[in-house]
Amino acid sequence: MRCFCKRIRTHHVKVVLLDEQELIQEIQDNSPGQEILDTVFRHLNLLETAYFGLRYLDASSQTHWLDPAKKIAKQLKGTDPFTLYFGVKFYAADPCKLLEEIT
């Protein structure tokens, strides 16, 4: 009898933070981008997450933002470990309205 289940592969992801620290995580092919974002936000104890995201370089060295709704395997191509860069996507129009100093 044949098994029709698809084997889920795992990958290592290196996230370079703003202070050049590196966070290494293991992810699965079918994980959405939001999963790695949530891991980084928890690591940084960051609550105001709308301003931040993860960037990556494609095969032609073009920068893209990781889409939280899409599966990671559909976005990241190449060999392990994948490298993502934590960055600021948006700046607050009025920084005085931010709730946390860390943001």
Answer yes or no: are the C-beta atoms of 55 and 84 closer than 8 Å.
Answer: yes
**pLDDT computed for residue 88 by the predictor:** 84
Q: Which CATH architecture has domain 10-97?
A: Roll (3.10)
| pLDDT tens, residue by residue, 20-29 | 999 999 988 8
3-state secondary structure 41-97: HHHHCCCCHHHEEEEEECCCCCEEECCCCCEHHHHCCCCCCEEEEEEECCCCCCHHH
List, for residues 30-85, the tens digit of each pLDDT value: 899 999 999 999 999 888 888 889 999 988 889 999 999 999 888 888 767 889 99
Question: What are the domain boundaries of the chain?
Answer: 10-97
What pTM did the predictor assign?
A: 0.79
pLDDT tier for residue 89 given thresholds of 50, 70 and 90: confident
